[in-house]
Chains A and B, each alone.
Chain A
């Protein structure tokens, strides 16, 4: 029965304890150590390295690494690669965000009622989500090879964005469905009693109430596709004439050529691009946390 006495000890300490000391005992900070140690080594440290090695001549052709200032940036900017890749990445991300949400929203509205047919249909639209993105790319390459759609220097980027949206629209659909289900019935009924048409109720009541779902979907589609690679690589490999070469394709290609510093520089550019666009997103996610 010694244990009983021991367990009472912290309990006795409660009244005199300063705020925070209890938490120290019940939820110790060392619980954070393993996770944050791994985050530090495998996530934050490489990111810090990005800021260092983008300013060196690190390559696969020689052993030593020397600082070269902003030479990598000026070189990539002067031959047009930097801004072309940036433009293609942003265009791709915006197109994916639009298509994926239009498709996902359309599917959610179409399959909203819980009928047997709708349940089966929803399941089928989730199949692409589970498939390997690489496989999706090869399927559409085979499907569109003879149509010439993948050989147009202007429109191929749109086709690839459509394929990306096709793969992920099932996920957006699920999130919109969850949003639609969370709208209280009495709100829409009140609109109906007030004489609003179904059309008007939909656009004026339900769509505004879906705001959190829209925010989440647009943000994840936009920022996620900036980090895209597999679908573009498997469908076009960055072609025709490098018009679909998003940042990660460039990084992969230059890394393979042993031009590590150039790849690092572009990796840093991608990081900065996403970070700049992410601030509003993180703000929204934090807000959501407060609601929970």
Chain B
């Protein structure tokens, strides 16, 4: 491909492959119910975007769902990062057979699918069924392996002399971890935060089983709105919801775009 044609081709590809689906969302969300019955790419004869957004905001009770999502995502990320880094640091620094086995077990969750049905039974026995605490526990169990994998690899690239210096100054293991190791882990923790936020924020499958019908989150709510909306042919409301639900992520992406891109790539392939 010649140097002059490449940019033209790249932009055309973006317009068709990404632009068309996104335009469908915006155009349909701007239509009246009658126009949106059969969604297509024609622009709305009259824009009702703000009315539709307002209607979804109140009808679907977006504030409650947003609160539910935040209530679950924030503790999950905090717990997974802290506990995962603590474990990963020790796993990376101790080279015994025991830690090798524990590491293999710890990262097995990256690949193995969680037992989503029996976890419901377990939560019932623990008295955590349908609670935010139970949901957070399930997510922590699923995503700890991701943190352990990324952080263990990263710790091995940090020279141990920094820790030794702190120890000579009299720091115990906890102080070394908090004052020396954690600050050094910042880049890899940023990557892990982005990935886990993305997964948990958008998850609907595990949420169905654990908190479906008890606590509302944005994706669970979208599923309800869409299930009712498809039945009633309310495509304009479905896509208005999609826009509202995507706004927080678009905001985060606009702020941390460069960090996200470099973070994801540095973690995957060395």
- Confirm or deny: A102 has a beta carbon within 8 angstroms of a beta carbon on chain B: no
Closest A residue to B266 by beta carbon equals: A178
Residues of A within 8 A of B106 (CB): 35-36, 39
Closest A residue to B38 by beta carbon equals: A146
Stretch of A66-74, A148-156, A187-195, A273-281 that contacts chain B: A273-281
Given contacts A39-B144, A229-B205, A286-B104, contact A139 B21 (CB under 8 A): yes
Counted as pairs of residues, one from A and one from B, with CB atoms less than 8 Å apart, the total is 277
How many whole Å from A155's CB to the nearest CB in chain B? 20
Q: Is there contact, CB below 8 Å, between A132 and B219?
A: yes
Would you mind naming 11 contact pairs between A and B with Cβ atoms under 8 Å apart? A6-B170, A7-B168, A23-B93, A23-B94, A29-B94, A35-B86, A117-B11, A130-B250, A146-B40, A230-B204, A234-B223
Q: Which of these, B6, B117, B145, B204, contacts A264 with CB under 8 Å?
A: B117
Q: Is there contact, CB below 8 Å, between A43 and B153?
A: no
- Confirm or deny: A288 has a beta carbon within 8 angstroms of a beta carbon on chain B: yes
Q: Which of these, A4, A50, A110, contacts B118 with CB under 8 Å?
A: A50
A209 and B120 CA atoms in complex are apart in Å by: 45
- Confirm or deny: A242 has a beta carbon within 8 angstroms of a beta carbon on chain B: no
- Confirm or deny: A127 has a beta carbon within 8 angstroms of a beta carbon on chain B: yes
Q: Is there contact, CB below 8 Å, between A263 and B117?
A: yes
Q: Is there contact, CB below 8 Å, between A31 and B104?
A: no
Q: Is there contact, CB below 8 Å, between B24 and A132?
A: no
- Confirm or deny: A78 has a beta carbon within 8 angstroms of a beta carbon on chain B: no
A39 and B6 CA atoms in complex are apart in Å by: 48
Q: Is there contact, CB below 8 Å, between A31 and B87?
A: yes
A32 and B84 CA atoms in complex are apart in Å by: 8
How many whole Å from A121's CB to the nearest CB in chain B? 5
How many whole Å from B225's CB to the nearest CB in chain A? 10
A275 and B112 CA atoms in complex are apart in Å by: 6
- Confirm or deny: B60 has a beta carbon within 8 angstroms of a beta carbon on chain A: no
- Confirm or deny: B111 has a beta carbon within 8 angstroms of a beta carbon on chain A: yes
Query: In chain B, residues 28-81, which have Cβ atoms closer than 8 Å to a Cβ of chain A?
Result: 28, 38-40, 79
Q: Is there contact, CB below 8 Å, between A32 and B87?
A: yes
Given contacts A130-B253, A135-B242, A289-B152, contact A226 B115 (CB under 8 A): no
Residues of B within 8 A of A7 (CB): 168-170
Interface, chain B (partner A; CB < 8 A): 1, 6-7, 9-11, 13-14, 17-18, 20-22, 24-25, 28, 38-40, 79, 83-84, 86-87, 89-91, 93-94, 96, 102, 104-119, 121-122, 126, 137-138, 140-142, 144-145, 148-149, 152-153, 156-157, 163, 167-170, 173, 176-177, 198, 201-202, 204-205, 208-209, 218-219, 222-223, 226, 235, 238-239, 242, 245-246, 249-250, 253, 257, 260-261, 264-266, 268-270
Q: Is there contact, CB below 8 Å, between B117 and A26?
A: no
Q: Is there contact, CB below 8 Å, between B39 and A143?
A: yes
Chain A: residues with Cβ within 8 Å of the partner, total of 100
Extra A-B contacts (13), CB below 8 Å, given A42-B119, A43-B144, A142-B39: A7-B170, A34-B86, A38-B137, A39-B145, A127-B253, A134-B226, A138-B238, A166-B17, A174-B268, A178-B268, A285-B107, A292-B153, A292-B270
Q: Mark A1-45, 1 if CB is under 8 A from B, else 0.
A: 001101100110000000010010111110110111011011111
A216 and B270 CA atoms in complex are apart in Å by: 11
Closest A residue to B223 by beta carbon equals: A134
Stretch of A79-87, A200-208, A247-255 that contacts chain B: A247-255
Interface, chain A (partner B; CB < 8 A): 3-4, 6-7, 10-11, 20, 23, 25-29, 31-32, 34-36, 38-39, 41-47, 49-50, 52-53, 58, 110-111, 113, 115, 117-118, 120-135, 138-140, 142-143, 145-146, 166, 171, 174-175, 177-179, 182, 212-213, 216, 223, 226-227, 229-230, 234, 248, 251-252, 255, 260, 263-264, 267-268, 270-271, 274-275, 278, 281-282, 285-286, 288-289, 291-292
Q: Is there contact, CB below 8 Å, between B202 and A122?
A: no
Closest B residue to A129 by beta carbon equals: B198
Closest A residue to B126 by beta carbon equals: A41
Given contacts A27-B90, A53-B118, A131-B249, contact A39 B109 (CB under 8 A): yes
